[in-house]
Structure 1
Amino acid sequence: MPTYTINFRNVELPVIFETDVCVVGGGSAGTAAAISAARKGAKVVLVERGISLGGLATQGCVFPCMPTFIDGSDTPYITDLNKRMAKQGAPLTLGIDTDTYYGGGRGQYVPEYLTMTYEEMCAEAGVEILYNASLVGTVQEKGKIVDCVIQTPAGLGKIRAKVFIDGTGDALLSRFANVPTEKGSEKTGRNQPMSLRFEMGGIDVERVYRFFSQDLKDDYGKDIFQIIEKAIKEHRPPFFEFAKWKKNKDFFEAGVAKGEVTEDDILYIQAFTIPGKPTVMSMNCPELPPLTYSSTDAISASRAVSFGRRMMRHLATFFIKNIPGFEKAYISREASMIGVRESWRIRGKYYMEAEDYLKARHFADAVCRTAYPIDIHDVKLDLFKKLEKGQYYEIPYRALVTDTVSNLLVVGRCASGSFAAQASFRIQPTCMSMGEAAGIAAVWGLSHNIEVNAVQWDKIPASERSYVSEG
């Protein structure tokens, strides 16, 4: 179904900005694109519907970033971000070296620090941020976007740009520009399930750790137990996570039997400690039932928020009553946006598929690498195995551009790929690297009078690129 649009071509609206590059969406990918383009000398406007940058990493309480599982995946933008975040006084990676962690360490970005760091990076680069601005349409001429139309507190307005970058996550800019898109699984039609994350404070983390590791004899976090023990001995807040997993499954299901939680509530449970917040844990749950709620249906997605909030209360009450260390805990923060893993994806010049991951394909025009598995929460298929140590696949630049709109780049989870492929490339570090490359390519195209969908990433000098494929 096409996205319904209004023809704004002859509508008289104020032009709020005239700029070189307009990025719509201030999440992990969009922010990286805006900063990278501005650092290359472009005049950049970054449009964000909320009042903070970072998207799910900040507004959605998605902590921590998942790892790429391959060394060498950190592009310069990520390296710079990590150095800036390290100054906040919290470690960025777990330092784990086991059979399941091959590199590309798990970044720990505390939301409140990340929001400010992003704004500082934008200010240094000269990015103009437009908060409280929602995309409502486009004006196109001759296969190009001329303006994007936005709703602001002052009313409707236009942003005129030479290049546009879609960092909306839902491919909304692309859909308004009539770019072909897909959504959900090719087999079932369902989207990946959404989550509504929250944080709880007042927790005795060490007691929680002892309960899961000793009382329940859970081995879920066995690869970090030594790190936890070392932190405890040194009187440092340990990084710890617990989940509904194998040995403790009966514990959570007992809560269902007692009527304290429902099967939906315990569908997926995972929680992490947060650097700099020694008595707080971030809940990677509740996960909303995929058969009931869809990220691509407006009414369904709205109802999911209320349902998720009720699930959140069920879980918090259950934790307080049943998990030692949670007795004095409370909900300290709710996500201000729902956690969408997958919605719409474009059909670009290159269409990534599961085979690209499974065969660890490399591309001459690659913009980044990852070995993150095909992580589909709705279904588990044996086909989608983890790559061997040292293996990785790459994201080609052609997956970020389309044949239909010459001055559009698409970054993040809505890049071109199948349902299964997207389940791998959707993680934050990969999205950041896509955004970084898009910002660089946008300015390269402008400075060389080349449309961005005709830019050949591998022809840009290696010193100018954020990533160069090793072949």
Structure 2
Amino acid sequence: MIKKLLFVLLIFNCTQSFAQTIKTDILVIGGSASGTAAAIQGARSKLKTMLIEQGPWLGGSLTSGGICVLDGNRNLPTGIWGEFRRRVREFYAKAPGYDTTYNAVLRFEPYTGAAILKKITDTVKSLTVKLNSPFISIKKDGTGWDVSATLDGKTTTIKAKVVIDATEMGDVALKAGEKLIYGFDAKKETGEVLAPENASPQIQDLNWIAVLKDFGKSADKTIARPEGYDPSRYACLKGKNIGQMLNEGKLPNDKYMIKWICGTQYPVTANDLKPENREAFYAKAKLHTLGLIYYLQTEFGYKNLGLDDGFGTPDNLPSQPYLREAGRAASGLIRMTLDDVYKPYDYESKLYRTAIAVGDAFPGQHYSEGGAPVVNYTAFPAYGVPLGAIVLKDQDNLLVTGKAMSVTHLLNASTMYPSVQMAVGQGAGATAAYCAFFKTTTKNLNVRIIQGELLDFKAWIMPFADVKPTDPYFRAIQQIGASGLLRGVQKADGNTAKLLFQPDSLVATAEVEPVLKEIYTRAFLWFNREKPGPVFTIGNLLSFISETTLTDPHTLEIGMQKAWKAQYKFSSDFDLKRPVTRREFAILANRYFNPFGRTVDIAGRMMN
């Protein structure tokens, strides 16, 4: 009888163990902006995908952290970020005064943003989302990973071919054995002109944001005096235009996002971010923000402004901070620096050719305590995020997003921005899908296939602000830009610089000749024979197409003349002697000799 009972218990335990093991192609850990986008893209690429998030909302800093006024990437509505932005604008389209112009700053209530993200994920096949599901541990299993997490109250093992660390602080990468680095890099390490001579562990302040609601002039929403309240900590607000500061964070439905240098910004160290120290540290940061609210209500008379209860937390504050900086991966396949943004075309490596996301958020340096090196960024250009920045050298099939990306401190100040991270997440999702679909590892990535998948799903790989995604030849221009055949032009616009394709300008021979020679061996013969002038003509382009495709020149000319307006919709007349525009060149080059089809390595070098 005892033997039978033991046998039954053994079978029961085995069944329970089996029931608590899940297999998936892609596992995304962290429902941050990057994690949500990564999971959506992985599943849309038709790979079985699971997303686990320890909190109740999707979006991370974007929603649970309250950073709901976004000006980054407003000129670059790439892929899933563009989809999210469009849905937010549609939701508020009838709200009085809501700005729906093409590149308006995006404003939304945090719970609305979380609901929109959840609605998108609910419609994606092959995607399972588990909220309130903390990550526990990770260990290698062949080319994949075994991850332990709490799902539906039970400890569960998830076997995944590829894992994406989309936590806010690189917790997964750290537990997998990746070393994280914090603070300023030394100039000698990165080569960045703006970097300090010596490294410094100081990291940027976090913000514990608050969302206030105007309950009407007669309302009194004064909160209880916070523990340890010291009004002198907010004296920096005296003499400030509080009305203007409130308006800068204005949200729909008479609400305001409060993210102020004086009041919600709080110093943080790497030690504060250790898992065992976070809870106590966060409590101090939240008290600092609550003190600001009390100060506004009692010292400035804003009793009518009360904490919005949309976060569903006991103190009505966001459930997590807006964290600007944490640990960065020490061993990415490449390390992206400021020079890759300011001078992307000037190096032997051509990382722009490997971009899987775009960004334009102006970087800042936020410190409430002295001692940090002073950084004065010049007009900051839009940029592409290279594939190698999310891939780890020594951890196959583990990708990193968020602050754990392989970038320098000075560049993290832009790439950490939520809208940029949503773009990065989509790139990570496509990369994970590539590995899972082709049953390979991150040591064998094909940049062009991954980029092609992203372009299929309306993501941008080149940040050309003057070619909108509605352009019928948007993809052709993106591909030609990523080949390096036609380069973007940086144009300063305040403290940022747009990257422009300038489709109506002319093609300089000096620009295209080096790349054509790099890609096509027959190009040397052609340039020596034809000797085109300083500006490429339509005739030059057709002659080069004939050379590379071995098409009869006369036949090509007759066919092109017929297709010029009927097929390609060019507004100009067909004239072989006329200089060709960059738009015309891009469309025809992409169609006939396709430089984007040439394989590049992880550094962007052309491969034979």
Query: Where on the TM-score scale, by shorter chain, does this alignment land: which range?
Result: 0.7 to 0.9
Deviation at 1:291, TM superposition (A): 6.4
The residue that corresponds to 1:452 in the other structure is 442
Cα deviation for residue 370 of structure 1 reads: 2.4
Q: Is 1:468–2:451 an aligned residue pair?
A: no
C-alpha displacement of 1:304: 2.9
Q: Per-residue deviation at 1:293?
A: 8.2
Identity %: 18
- 5 Å-filtered alignment, 1:369-408, equals 369-378=358-367, 379=372, 381-387=374-380, 391-408=381-398
Name the aligned partner's letter for residue 422 of structure 1.
Answer: N
Q: 1:135 to 1:380 in 2, by over 3 A?
A: same
Partner of 1:252: none
Listed as ranges, the matches of 1:424-435 within 5 Å are: 424-435=414-425
Compute the displacement of 1:147 (Å).
1.0
For 1:446 and 1:132, the matched residues in 2 are separated by: 26
RMSD (CA atoms): 3.1
Matches within 5 A, 1:1-400: 15-68=20-73, 71=75, 73-90=76-93, 105-126=104-125, 127-142=127-142, 144-152=143-151, 154-186=153-185, 187-202=199-214, 260-262=231-233, 271=246, 272-278=248-254, 280-285=255-260, 286-290=263-267, 295-298=272-275, 300-323=277-300, 326-332=302-308, 333-346=316-329, 347-360=331-344, 363-378=352-367, 379=372, 381-387=374-380, 391-400=381-390
Distance 1:298 1:161, change over 3 A: closer
More displaced stretch, 149-158 vs 79-88: 149-158
> How far off is 1:21 after superposition?
0.7
Aligned residues: 394
CA distance 1:264–1:295, shift in 2 (3 Å): farther
Higher helix content, 1 or 2 = 2
Shift of 1:368: 2.2
SS at match of 1:277: coil
SS in 2 for 1:334: coil
Give the number of the structure with larger relative contact order, counting CA–CA contacts within 8 Å between residues 6 or more apart: 1
Distance 2:114 2:450 in 1: 32
Tell me, in whole angstroms, the C-alpha distance in 1 between the residues paired with 2:333 and 2:235. Answer: 39
| TM-aligned CA deviation for residue 124 of structure 1 | 0.8
CA distance change for structure 1 residues 450 and 132 in 2, over 3 Å: closer, same or farther?
same
Contact 1:365 1:397 in 2 (8 A): yes
Cα gap change, 1:314/1:141 in structure 2, threshold over 3 Å: closer, same or farther?
closer
One-letter amino acid of the counterpart of residue 49, structure 1: Q
Please, which runs of 5 or more residues in structure 1 have no aligned partner? 1-11, 97-102, 206-258
Q: TM-score, normalised by structure 2?
A: 0.59
Stretch of structure 1 that moved more, 411-420 or 152-161: 152-161
The alpha-carbon distance between structure 1 residues 33 and 260, as it changes in their structure 2 partners (threshold 3 A), is: same
Q: Distance in 2 between matches of 1:188 and 1:66?
A: 29
**How high is the TM-score relative to the length of structure 1?**
0.75
Deviation at 1:295, TM superposition (A): 4.4
The question of whether the paired residues in 1 share the 8 Å contact of 2:454 and 2:460 is answered with no
CA distance in 2, matches of 1:40, 1:93: 34
Cα distance change of structure 1 residues 266 and 182 upon mapping to structure 2, 3 Å threshold? farther
Q: 1:194 to 1:439 in 2, by over 3 A?
A: same
Q: CA deviation at 1:188?
A: 2.3
Query: CA–CA distance in 2 between the matches of 1:304 and 1:265?
Result: 23
Q: Give deviations 1:79-108, integer Å, cap 9, x for gaps.
A: 221222222125898579xxxxxx965322
Compare CA radii of gyration and give the structure with the larger one: 2
The 3 A distance-change label for structure 1 pair 104 and 416 is farther
Contact 1:196 1:337 in 2 (8 A): yes
Do the aligned partners of 2:396 and 2:442 also contact (CA within 8 Å) in 1? Answer: yes
Partner AA of 1:183 in structure 2: Y
- Could you give the per-residue CA deviations for residues 89-142 of structure 1, whole angstroms, max 9, x where no partner exists? 25898579xxxxxx9653223211111111111111132111222112112134
> Retained in 2: the 8 A contact 1:406–1:451?
yes
Could you say what secondary structure the match of 2:307 adopts?
A: strand
Asked if structure 2 preserves the Cα contact closer than 8 Å seen for 1:64 and 1:106, the reply is yes
Following the alignment from structure 1 to structure 2, what is the Cα–Cα distance between the partners of residues 399 and 134? 26
**CA separation in 2, counterparts of 1:374 and 1:158?**
39
Q: In the TM superposition, what whole-angstrom CA distance separates every residue of 1:395-448 from its partner, at most 9, and x where no partner exists?
A: 101111111122122122321112111111111111011111111222223223
The question of whether the paired residues in 2 share the 8 Å contact of 1:264 and 1:288 is answered with no
* CA gap 1:287/1:454 in 2 versus in 1, 3 angstroms: farther
| Alpha-carbon distance, 1:47 to partner | 0.5
Secondary structure of 2:321's partner?
Answer: coil
Distance 2:270 2:403 in 1: 19
